[in-house]
């Protein structure tokens, strides 16, 4: 089947490359020049995006979008996905082991292993990146990053419930160009980035590479960065109406990996918020229910290798443009991390291929796009989970996903100032899980992880746009997004699967320019309804083991408003401010936890789940309804623990969504001082802020970030000889900013000598500073 698909792809490329048309199209990405917001001259320059599968100015778009140019990303030190949350209000990116956990306005996924998928779709040059650990350090040599907030089901498909993040790389151009930069900073930071390219109007290439070496922010070496990434692109225009862009990419990560830091409201915490978890007696005291679980050591590692190849073919057929995007991505990851109380050693592989074929036309009155999409991914996962001395599990799982979709979206101008938008997408996903779990309980039981399910959905988008004036637009949109259901390793279905989630969003807003295009004010209000939200948590499985489980959290409501302001009071100065208000509430969030009777209960808690260890309401313990359920392979005895399990309901209804602060925002000012000889000095400062937020669905106070204000500053000398020297400092206030984490799983009641408030949190970088040298030609 795959050979047929690749053969059809090559045939399509060959046929389309030979096609001819009478009129020569302008390359959309080149026809409208993209600029960073700082721009030049007196006016605010337009930022052009292609998020709607066509080139348009942000000021002409009704999408809820934040755009960061390549220079802005470099100045902010954004080199990997986890850095992106420092510059976009409402966005939180954290690391769980070797996996990125991305949340937009409280919508995201606690993704930590191969069975988890992000609710925010990452794409590079139009290619969907399926693995959250496959994003890696690819934020270099970029033209821009587009952050789309809210469901993007029509054009981006499944797994874009909360939004999409599009990375657009720099394209090859005619002539010889190049740039080079070196960053040197504290924590022994050395980062070298370079790119060179050139050619003719018919054929051009560009090569870019980035190497980063930095010590860990935590005192035991965790949260370091050691990576190498390279990208080679070639652009071929064999005819005036045809262009073919081919991209090859390689990413290698070899680091100690991410870790969490201790937080508690009962026991002392380290004076240094960045004290590593392996330092000292940072775990549960040995007088507790069990002797502290698996101790955290400093031997963690994170190894990731990604190979990727993609192409984008555009052919102007006269009445429409044909676009074909075939892509292949191979991700291999292995990492050892310590989930509080647990040792987690995993190795994963993913081979994904995708194909998108679409037609579109950007007419005067009608703009439309329609297409089909196919996605195929084969995964393997082998991991060992230990919670000594009570548990050791070895999970060997295969996961196969086949997905296809048909979609279309159109914008029609009823008048010169009034437009209507409509779009539909049908998606179908087929998932299959195989493999087994070897559970040591303490007797060995082999438990099947088998499962096979199909899911389908219709997503849609509708809207109105009205031009109040030449630089003023009002809009109202409604959209629905969908994230596929799936599996996690446990006893066979239905106990090891979960349902799809959907989100319906209503948005009203306006885009405005005033004072001769020197003042820009964009406003939005939104109301979101979430159904069957997928929540991931650490708990006991129906088989008596402990693992990462996924449940559907019923319903949730989100609403809020955002303001984005940019003002150029003089040609030399630019002021920016962005603020977002967000209210979230779980209308219904009830799920069951399973309680294997691994020891008798202690005072202060029910069975093995203490009431003090969650902010939610716990129901009474009751016999597990599935005790007689899980079929085991022939000849395998049923462990006694499986016959005596109990279960308990957890009701978190009325709680806010996790990683969803009520207030987030940023403000900054940059000023240019012109010197003799056209040299100049550019000085800037900005701050980011956020109010309090819960970091995990445990909803305990030690698992809550109280909010922060973080200050950054930079000072640059820009020479007309083509080089720039920049002194920079980030998080100069040295704020301890927590982005995620989880409760210590074996915290028991105080009467048992334990600390039920013990929580381990992900933390952002402390104060960093350094110097950057850039040169270009």
Greatest mean pLDDT range, 71-75, 494-498, 517-521? 517-521
What per-residue confidence (pLDDT) applies to 637?
A: 45
Strand partners, 379: 350, 399
Look at 625 and 268; give whichever has higher pLDDT.
268
Give the pLDDT of residue 471: 93
pLDDT of residue 644 exceeding 60, the answer is no
Residues 350-396: tens digit of each pLDDT: 999 999 999 999 999 999 999 999 999 999 999 888 876 667 888 89
* pLDDT of residue 732 exceeding 60: yes
pLDDT of residue 110: 78
**Higher-scoring residue by pLDDT: 437, 411:** 411
User: What does the pLDDT look like over 263-322, one tens digit per residue?
Assistant: 988 877 788 999 988 886 555 544 344 455 677 888 999 999 999 999 999 999 998 999
Residue 199 or 627, more confident: 199
Give the residue, 746 or 87, on which the prediction is more confident.
87
Q: What is the mean pLDDT of the chain?
A: 84
Neighbours of 373 (CB within 10 A): 22
In terms of DSSP bridges, do strands 501-514 and 472-483 run parallel, antiparallel, or are they unpaired? Answer: antiparallel
* Residue 620 pLDDT grade (very low, low, confident, very high; cuts 50, 70, 90): confident
Residue 622 pLDDT grade (very low, low, confident, very high; cuts 50, 70, 90): low
With a CB cutoff of 8 Å and minimum separation 6, the contacts of 138 are 80, 124, 167, 229, 231, 249, 251
Q: How many residues does the chain have?
A: 777
The CA dihedral of 637, 641, 644, 649, to the nearest 10 degrees, is -130
> Which residues, 6+ apart, have CB-to-CB distance to 334 below 8 Å?
301, 303, 346, 347, 348
Residue 684, pLDDT score: 96
Which tens digit of pLDDT belongs to each residue from 679-699?
A: 999 999 999 999 999 998 889
Three-point CA angle 686, 689, 692, nearest 5°: 170
The pLDDT assigned to 18 comes to 40
Confidence at residue 185, expressed as pLDDT on a 0 to 100 scale = 97
**Which pLDDT band, with edges at 50, 70 and 90, does 21 fall under?**
very low
Listed residue (149, 75, 87, 144) closest to 578, CA to CA: 87
Q: Give dist(CA 421, CA 667) in Å, integer.
A: 33
CA contacts within 13 A on the Cβ side of 286: 4
Residues pairing with 402 in the sheet: 376, 430
User: Edge-to-edge, what's the strand order for the sheet holding 127-129?
Assistant: 65-69, 142-149, 163-169, 120-124, 127-129
Helix (H) or strand (E) holding 9: helix 2-17
Cα(657)–Cα(105) distance, integer angstroms: 9
Of the two residues 676 and 715, the one the predictor is more confident about is: 715
Residue 77 contacts by C-beta under 8 Å, 6 or more apart in sequence? 83, 183, 728, 730, 768
Distance of CA 646 to the CA centre of its chain: 36
For the domain that residue 264 is a member of, what is the CATH number?
2.40.170.20
Backbone angles phi, psi at 23, to 5 degrees: -105, 140
Nearest residue to 221 via CA among 157, 135, 301, 336: 301
pLDDT at 768 over 60: yes
Q: Check: CB of residue 738 under 8 Å from CB of residue 694.
A: no
Q: What is the pLDDT of residue 394?
A: 86
Average confidence (pLDDT) over 505-520: 95
pLDDT-derived band at 190 (thresholds 50, 70, 90) equals very high
Q: How would you list the strands of the sheet with 99-104, edge to edge?
A: 91-96, 99-104, 107-108
Question: Are 383 and 546 spatial neighbours (Cβ–Cβ below 8 Å)?
Answer: no
How does residue 547 score in pLDDT terms, banded at 50, 70 and 90?
low
Residues contacting residue 505 through CB under 8 Å, at least 6 positions apart: 150, 151, 477, 478, 479, 480, 481, 526, 527, 528, 529
Q: Strand 693-694 relative to strand 723-730: parallel, antiparallel, unpaired?
A: unpaired
Cα–Cα distance measured from residue 55 to residue 463, given in angstroms and rounded to the nearest whole number: 19
**Number of separate domains in the chain:** 1
Kindly report, residue by residue over 41-54, the tens digit of the pLDDT.
578 888 888 988 88
With beta carbons less than 8 A apart as the criterion, state whether 193 and 181 touch: yes
Nearest partner of 542 among 395, 391, 647, 436, judged by Cα: 647
Going along 58-109, which residue ranges are E strands?
65-69, 91-96, 99-104, 107-108
Residue 346 above 60 pLDDT?
yes
- Give 129-151 as a 3 state SS string: ECCHHHCCCCCCCEEEEEEEECC
Q: How large is the average pLDDT for residues 441-464? A: 86
User: Measured over all CA atoms, what is the biggest interatomic distance in the chain, rounded to whole angstroms?
Assistant: 87
Q: 63 or 116, which is more confident?
A: 63
Q: Which residues contact 115 (CB under 8 A, 6 or more apart)?
A: 381, 397, 399, 433, 486, 487, 488, 489, 548, 550
Going by DSSP bridges, is the β-strand pair 120-124/163-169 parallel, antiparallel, or unpaired?
A: parallel
CB 666 within 8 A of CB 704: no
**Distance from C-alpha of 157 to C-alpha of 129, rounded to nearest angstrom:** 12
Is the pLDDT assigned to residue 234 strictly greater than 70? yes
Q: How far is it, in rounded angstroms, from Cα 545 to Cα 641?
A: 10
Asked whether residue 448 carries a pLDDT value surpassing 90, the answer given is no
Q: Which domain holds residue 388?
A: 2-776
Confidence (pLDDT) at 172? 96
- Does residue 668 carry a pLDDT above 70? yes
Tens-digit pLDDT profile for residues 584-618: 999 998 877 765 544 333 333 333 433 446 788 87
Q: Give the pLDDT mean for 448-466.
A: 93
515/517 Cα distance (integer angstroms): 6
List the one residue out of 598, 547, 594, 549 whose CA is nearest residue 389.
Answer: 598
The torsion defined by the Cα of 640, 642, 643 and 646, in degrees rounded to 10, comes to 130
Q: What is the mean pLDDT of residues 557-578?
A: 95
Q: Is 626 helix (H, G, I), strand (E, B) or coil?
A: coil
Angstrom distance (rounded) from CA 661 to CA 674: 40
């Amino acid at each position: 089947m795959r050979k047929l698909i690749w053969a059809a792809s090559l045939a399509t490329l060959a046929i389309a490359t030979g096609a001819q048309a009478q009129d020569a199209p302008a390359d959309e990405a080149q026809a409208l020049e993209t600029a960073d917001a700082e721009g030049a001259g007196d006016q605010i320059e337009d930022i052009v995006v292609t998020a709607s599968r066509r080139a348009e100015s942000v000021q002409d778009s009704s999408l809820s979008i934040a755009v960061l140019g390549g220079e802005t990303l470099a100045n902010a030190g954004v080199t990997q996905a986890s850095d992106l949350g420092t510059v976009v209000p409402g966005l939180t990116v954290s690391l769980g082991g070797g996996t990125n956990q991305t949340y937009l306005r409280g919508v995201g996924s606690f993704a930590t292993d191969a069975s988890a998928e992000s609710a925010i779709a990452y794409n590079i040059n139009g290619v969907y990146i399926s693995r959250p650990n496959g994003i890696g350090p690819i934020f270099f040599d970029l033209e821009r990053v587009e952050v789309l907030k809210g469901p993007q089901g029509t054009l981006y498909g499944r797994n874009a419930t909360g939004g999409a993040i599009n990375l657009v790389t720099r394209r090859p151009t005619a002539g010889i160009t190049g740039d080079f930069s070196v960053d040197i900073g504290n924590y022994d930071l050395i980062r070298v980035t370079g790119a060179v390219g050139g050619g003719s109007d018919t054929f051009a290439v560009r090569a870019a590479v980035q190497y980063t070496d930095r010590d860990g922010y935590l005192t035991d070496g965790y949260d370091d960065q050691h990576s190498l990434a390279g990208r080679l692109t070639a652009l071929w225009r064999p005819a005036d109406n045809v262009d073919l862009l081919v991209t090859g990419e390689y990413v290698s990560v070899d680091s100690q990996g991410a870790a969490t830091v201790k937080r508690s409201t009962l026991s002392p915490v380290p004076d240094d918020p960045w004290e590593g978890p392996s330092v000292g007696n940072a775990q549960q005291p040995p007088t507790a229910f069990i002797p502290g679980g698996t101790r955290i050591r400093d031997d963690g590692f994170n190894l990731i290798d990604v190979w990727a190849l993609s192409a984008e073919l555009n052919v102007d057929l006269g009445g429409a443009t044909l676009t074909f995007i075939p892509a292949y991505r191979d991700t291999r990851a292995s990492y050892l991390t310590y989930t509080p109380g647990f040792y987690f050693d995993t190795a994963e592989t993913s081979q994904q291929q995708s194909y998108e074929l679409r037609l579109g036309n950007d007419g005067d009155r009608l703009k439309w796009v329609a297409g089909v999409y196919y996605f195929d991914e084969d995964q393997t996962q082998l991991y060992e989970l230990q919670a000594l001395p009570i548990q050791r599990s070895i999970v060997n799982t295969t996961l196969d996903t086949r997905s296809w979709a048909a979609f279309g979206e159109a914008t029609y101008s009823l008048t010169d100032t009034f437009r209507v938008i409509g779009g539909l997408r049908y998606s179908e996903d087929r998932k299959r899980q195989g493999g087994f779990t070897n559970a040591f309980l303490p007797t060995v039981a082999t438990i099947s992880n088998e499962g096979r399910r199909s899911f389908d959905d219709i997503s849609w988008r509708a809207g109105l746009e009205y031009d109040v004036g030449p630089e003023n637009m009002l809009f109202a949109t409604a959209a629905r997004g969908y994230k596929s259901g799936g599996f996690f390793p446990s006893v066979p279905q239905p106990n090891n699967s979960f349902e799809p989630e959907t989100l319906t969003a209503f948005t009203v807003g306006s885009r405005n320019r005033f004072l001769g295009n020197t003042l820009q004010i964009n406003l939005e209000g939104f109301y979101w309804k979430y159904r069957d939200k997928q929540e991931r948590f650490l708990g006991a499985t129906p088989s008596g083991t402990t693992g990462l489980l996924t449940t559907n959290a019923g319903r949730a409501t989100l609403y809020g408003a955002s303001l984005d302001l940019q003002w150029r009071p003089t040609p030399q100065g630019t002021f920016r401010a962005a603020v977002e208000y967000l209210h979230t509430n779980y209308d219904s969030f009830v799920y069951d936890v399973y309680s294997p009777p691994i020891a008798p209960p202690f005072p202060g808690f029910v069975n093995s789940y203490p009431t003090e260890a969650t902010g939610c309401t716990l129901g009474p313990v009751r016999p597990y309804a599935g005790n007689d359920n899980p079929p085991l392979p022939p000849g395998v005895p049923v462990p006694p623990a499986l016959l005596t399990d109990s279960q308990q309901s957890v009701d978190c209804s009325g709680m806010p969504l996790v990683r969803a602060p009520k207030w987030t925002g940023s403000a900054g000012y940059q000023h240019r001082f012109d010197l003799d000889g056209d040299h100049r000095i550019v000085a800037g400062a900005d701050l980011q802020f956020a109010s309090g937020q819960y970091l995990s669905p445990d909803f305990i106070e030690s698992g809550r970030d109280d909010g922060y204000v973080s200050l950054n500053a930079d000072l640059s000398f820009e020479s007309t000889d083509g080089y720039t020297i920049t002194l920079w400092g980030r998080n100069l206030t040295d704020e301890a900013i927590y982005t995620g984490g989880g409760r210590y799983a074996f915290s028991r009641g105080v009467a048992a000598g334990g600390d039920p408030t013990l929580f381990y949190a992900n933390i952002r970088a402390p104060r960093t500073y350094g110097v950057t040298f850039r040169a270009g030609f």
